[in-house]
Chains A and B, each alone.
Chain A
Amino acid sequence: MTVLTIARLTVREAARRRLLLALLVLTTIVIAATGWGFSRISTLSEPSGPAGADQILQAKLSVLQVRLIAAQLLVVVMYMFSFVLALSAVFAAAPAVSGEVESGIALAVLARPLHRRDYLVGKWLGLAGLVAAYAALATGAELATVQAVIGYLPPEPAQLVLYLIAEGLVCLTLALALSTRFSGMVGGVIALVVFGIAWLGGVVGGLGAVFANEAITQIGTVSRIIMPTDLLWRGAVWSLEPAATRALAGSAGPAALATPFFAAAPPDPAWLLWAAAWVAGALALAIWSFHRREI
């Protein structure tokens, strides 16, 4: 019950300190802008001069072409969004514990008859709820906008949301664990650097797979172990790929396979299990770290 009390308190803090308002306003603006952008796709190859015979033949883009372009653009938009989610999770979690300890707010709370782990898990739960709610609402709003504007919906919207939430939770848990020992600024920077390593590792690993280079592929594997965000992003990309794009997987060149905007296959279930274990392990580490800390 104490865990829920702290979780509710964490959510209320985000609301009262206007984090939710800021996210809401900015996300709405971005989604509106992308909606406008998507509506312009079908105008991409409209003839601009006087109509000649061949220009009449070169009609507007076919529905399929529009959808393929929209699918790729949506991947790019969602990629940016996944970064926003990861950064927001880090910014929210990095000072969650250290800020309260430094300011003294934690003193009166931890003097109460609760386990330190209740305090930590409560914070995690509150922040995780915020990450999940934001990911679901923003993704839902974006997909609804694209659907409304050009009638395209990616094949697995629910799966997409779950992958994005998972990516957010990984970043959140790392930042919260760091928050038990480091100030918000330092913990946030460390979390972002590790996230960057995972991102880079994902690209390098993709190149290694393409050129069938064992050593380079290993780099990708190691970075996935260190922080599983990139592999979760690949899952999100897979959820966004319509059948036509997936069908191209076999014939796509090395450049396409190495970018973060394309996934040749869904993530191996074993890696998904690793991601779940990673989050649980990071949370356990956070609990242990906080247990010993002087307040």
Chain B
Amino acid sequence: MKLLLGLSRPTSGEAWVLGTPAGTREARRRVGYLPELFRYQHWLTAREVLALHCALVAMPRDGWPRAIGAALVTVGLDGREDGRVGTFSKGMQQRLGLAVALLGEPELVLLDEPTSALDPVGRHDVREIIRDLRARGVTVFLNSHLLTEVELVSDRVAIVNKGRVVTEGTLDGILGTDEVRVRVTGVDGPAALAPFGTVSRAGEWLAVRGVAPDRVPDLVAALVAAGGRVHAVEPRRGTLEERFLELLGEPSS
């Protein structure tokens, strides 16, 4: 991320951001950034920090109050804008950082571990913000080690290990085939389920791999027709964490 913003200098190679060479002022003009090390001038109020960034993106002066107000509401800091940043908790500072990243209507937003200091409510709020940005056609480039978060919001995922991209693609593509888990009694489960895919036992559940989502009702109907009592059906696919560990060659729990 720092390379894309010109904060780090490359040892070799080239990169482009939105069609312009990475690190140029033109590229940075259209990009918003929330650093992993999110620190803002602690002697300023939240409003003043946002005003500073309005000035740095050369926003026309009369647009500042509206832009600042909207940013504060989006991240849930409205009402706290006149507090000194030095008095903010880490979570509030991260929210401020997110507000800073959203100023100036960037086309690309780089978020580096944007929920690291947030509680579950905060993380939910950030996911909503990301979804909202996506709906508005803004590209969000998210860097996170919280794979559950990544799974919930991402369209495309790249997994990087030791500086190399290990895999890259859509989330569905990376997570592989769908799986359905069933808890059923009163019938020979594996036999009834065999036509639908590969069956295996997982505790008191039967896991069937290779079932398309729209065939689940047929699967249930087949079990009922065979005299089974279906207690639970859980469409489940492998988690990103499991796939991640698998790709890196680590044993999963």
Question: Which A residues are closer than 8 A to B by beta carbons?
Answer: 1-2, 5, 9, 12-13, 16-17, 103-105, 107-115, 292, 294-295
Contacts and interface: CB of A to CB of B under 8 A. Distances in A.
B37 A113 contact: no
B180 interface: no
Given A5-B55, A105-B41, A113 B5 contact: no
B40 A114 contact: no
Interface string B23-64: 001101101010101111101100000001101111000000
Contacts of A108: 33, 35, 38, 40, 53, 97, 100
A295 B29 CA distance: 18
Nearest to B110: A111
Given A2-B56, A9-B52, A105-B41, A111 B97 contact: no
Nearest to B24: A113
Contacts of A17: 43
Interface string B207-244: 00000000000000000000000000000000000000
B162 interface: no
Size bracket of the B interface: 20 to 34
Nearest to A4: B55
Contacts of A103: 39
A10 B90 CA distance: 24
A295 B35 CA distance: 11
Of A5, A104, A108, A294, which is in contact with the most chain B CB atoms at under 10 Å from its CB? A108
B2 interface: yes
Contacts of B8: 294-295
Given A108-B33, A111-B5, A113-B57, A16 B39 contact: no
Contacts of A13: 41, 43
Interface in B1-35: 2, 5-9, 25-26, 28-29, 31, 33, 35
Nearest to A293: B9
B212 to A, nearest CB: 44
B9 A114 contact: no
B42 to A, nearest CB: 8
A16 B40 contact: no
Contact of A113 (B28, B41, B52, B97): B28
A114 B37 contact: no
B33 A111 contact: yes
Nearest to B25: A113
B162 to A, nearest CB: 20
A292 B11 CA distance: 12
B56 A113 contact: yes
Nearest to A116: B6
Contacts of B52: 5, 9, 109
Given A5-B55, A111-B28, A113-B29, A105 B43 contact: no
23 contacts: A1-B55, A2-B56, A9-B52, A16-B44, A104-B35, A104-B37, A104-B38, A104-B39, A105-B41, A108-B38, A108-B40, A108-B53, A109-B56, A110-B7, A111-B7, A112-B53, A113-B25, A113-B29, A113-B56, A115-B25, A294-B2, A294-B9, A295-B2
A109 B38 CA distance: 11
A115 B28 CA distance: 11
A107 B37 contact: yes
Contacts of B57: 112-113
A181 B43 CA distance: 24
Contacts of B56: 2, 5, 109, 112-114
A2 B56 CA distance: 6
Of A2, A103, A105, which is in contact with the most chain B CB atoms at under 10 Å from its CB? A105
Nearest to A292: B9
A103 B93 CA distance: 14
A295 B7 contact: yes
A294 B7 contact: yes
B243 to A, nearest CB: 31
Which 8 residue pairs are nearest across A and B when measured between Cβ atoms?
A104-B37, A104-B39, A16-B43, A112-B56, A113-B29, A111-B33, A295-B7, A107-B35
Of B7, B25, B53, which is in contact with the most chain A CB atoms at under 10 Å from its CB? B7
